[in-house]
Chains A and B, each alone.
Chain A
């Protein structure tokens, strides 16, 4: 299992477009990918789950990947967060 924390710097938080891209990135892997924010944890392969968290600017989130391709999944998610300007 891999676990990493990210600080969301984007002014608009994780809104529709990046949420869609994060879900698409996570969905490519077999591993379970989850996003934890405050006391809630959701499946990062679920667009509804991600949106329902309403992650805004300055949020600290934790991404967990668990499975045979957990390292690659973490890299892909981290890259998407960076590419979309969500996190440094």
Chain B
């Protein structure tokens, strides 16, 4: 049984798991006469609906990974699947010729293809032809009851075996469920390899025959460091591979910890450079860039990916994984920030005219307390595995914070009574509403830490909806009004002796960093990719020297442009 496939080591790591073949099946359509017309028409419509549902899933994934513009192609696919001309033409053919749906569809599409081919001068026609073929194939597959694999439709952890990974595939990847890649084609610098490495997913490419030799469900060990795939390994081999997996994970962790020297300014002021994460998939990047903490873990994905509320255990598993991977470094986890413009499909909330100012974030949690309590319990239970910081989003009044804190205390004492082991936890708030920033000194008396969320703070201060292009010019992180608010929060935290962080885009912005360092910000949290650059910049700056710049900008600047000019004059060569 045991066999070995050799290929090119494209992305490091050893994983074991079951094969998912991402290979288009041969769809052979045969024409046959039908007797039950209604049955056949119904079959056709059911296949269309199933295909639309597939494409909707793929589109959702693509929108999330790459944004609405990149997912546009899938809207075109859905339109094609609902095209009245196409549907009528197929129905007519089924009726008139009394033939099966797949044969009728194939014939109709063939006629259309011929019409498209006459237009070779239009560069878009070739692409649309590809779209038409893609949707036809999907409907045909449903009619033939053959499963048509797609990365977006994978719903459990597997090793993907495919001919080649093309950019269009990558759109739909949900890295949660992809343990590794094996491809027939490609070299170390091919698209597949770069893609795999960027996602830190082990891969072997250029195996030539993997798709022919491996079947769905085969158990394999993929060694991305050696470029080998072992098929049907025995128990010993599996155990060795699993030990190697664990050892590698431990080594990586050790490496990231021993490398760590912290971030210190030129004049010796130590600050924390942390990472913002959305899912556990972001952890490899965080460790690789040696972030000193997770300054913001968003928990929305746990809720928004699902069709129903995630269970407490599901949440616990995720939080535990992140805390353990980062320990002993702290992890700030933000409680659910949905509602308004980010509605949960399974939570019936009434539509709001201005969702950004509606029932969202902590307001939603205080309204739906069962959801909030379940999240707090999961967090509390996970706290034993690392250094947990819990942060409440969009706190506007002290009452809100006190209410949230009381609910937390209640859940905490219940778990203590039940003798559930808990770690040391701190409770903080996100400052993203001007009311909270202006009252920061009062909040600082009650919270363990503060984190400034600049994206919303800027939006609410400038009264500009950040999803509205027409007012995008008002998104001004260096506007003196924003700087005054930020400075006020930092000063309030300093006065109360509690740490203050920033977890918005601004924290990694080279113009803002000197100002924030001068103001005395403790923690800069950003996407992992910006960490190295920011750490280097901080190392070149002298925090004390920058206090003068802070005073000048706060007292004298009236516009964003003036602030930029002042910062550039004080720190020459900033943007080079």
| Residues of chain A at the chain B interface (Cβ within 8 Å) | 12-13, 15-17, 19-20, 23-24, 42-43, 45-49, 51-52, 54, 56
Which residue on B lies nearest to A55, using beta carbons?
A: B122
* B contacts with A, residue count (CB < 8 A): 22
| Residues of chain B at the chain A interface (Cβ within 8 Å) | 72-73, 75-76, 79-80, 83-86, 112, 115-116, 119, 121-122, 124-125, 127-128, 131-132
Known A47-B76, A52-B115: A15·B83 in contact at CB below 8 Å: no
Partner of B79 from A15, A24, A56 at Cβ < 8 Å = A24
Q: How far is the CB of B96 from chain A (nearest CB, A)?
A: 20
Best-surrounded residue of B115, B116, B121 (most CB of chain A within 10 A): B115
Partner of A17 from B72, B83, B125 at Cβ < 8 Å = B72
Known pairs A16-B131, A45-B85. 19 more at Cβ < 8 A?
A: A13-B122, A13-B124, A15-B124, A20-B72, A20-B79, A46-B83, A46-B86, A47-B83, A48-B80, A48-B83, A48-B132, A49-B83, A51-B125, A54-B121, A54-B122, A54-B124, A54-B125, A56-B121, A56-B122
Partner of A51 from B72, B73, B84, B116 at Cβ < 8 Å = B116
**Chain A interface, >50% SS class:** helix
Q: How far is the CB of A74 from chain B (nearest CB, A)?
A: 19
B115 touches A16 (CB 8 A): no
Which residue on A lies nearest to B132, using beta carbons?
A: A48
Known A23-B79, A45-B84, A46-B84: A52·B112 in contact at CB below 8 Å: yes
Known A16-B73, A43-B84: A48·B112 in contact at CB below 8 Å: yes
B84 touches A16 (CB 8 A): no
How many inter-chain residue pairs (CB < 8 Å) link A and B? 56
B80: chain A residues at CB < 8 Å are: 47-48
Q: How far is the CB of B572 from chain A (nearest CB, A)?
A: 42
Q: How far is the CB of B131 from chain A (nearest CB, A)?
A: 8
A-B contact pairs, 22 of them (CB 8 A): A13-B122, A13-B124, A15-B124, A16-B131, A19-B76, A20-B79, A24-B79, A46-B83, A47-B83, A48-B80, A48-B83, A48-B85, A48-B86, A48-B112, A48-B132, A49-B85, A51-B116, A51-B125, A52-B115, A54-B122, A54-B124, A56-B121
B116: chain A residues at CB < 8 Å are: 51-52
Docked pose: A2 CA to B1 CA in angstroms: 72
Best-surrounded residue of B116, B121, B124 (most CB of chain A within 10 A): B124
B127: chain A residues at CB < 8 Å are: 16
Best-surrounded residue of A13, A19, A46, A47 (most CB of chain B within 10 A): A47
B125: chain A residues at CB < 8 Å are: 51, 54
A16: chain B residues at CB < 8 Å are: 72-73, 76, 124, 127-128, 131
A19: chain B residues at CB < 8 Å are: 76
Best-surrounded residue of A12, A13, A16 (most CB of chain B within 10 A): A16
B119 touches A54 (CB 8 A): yes
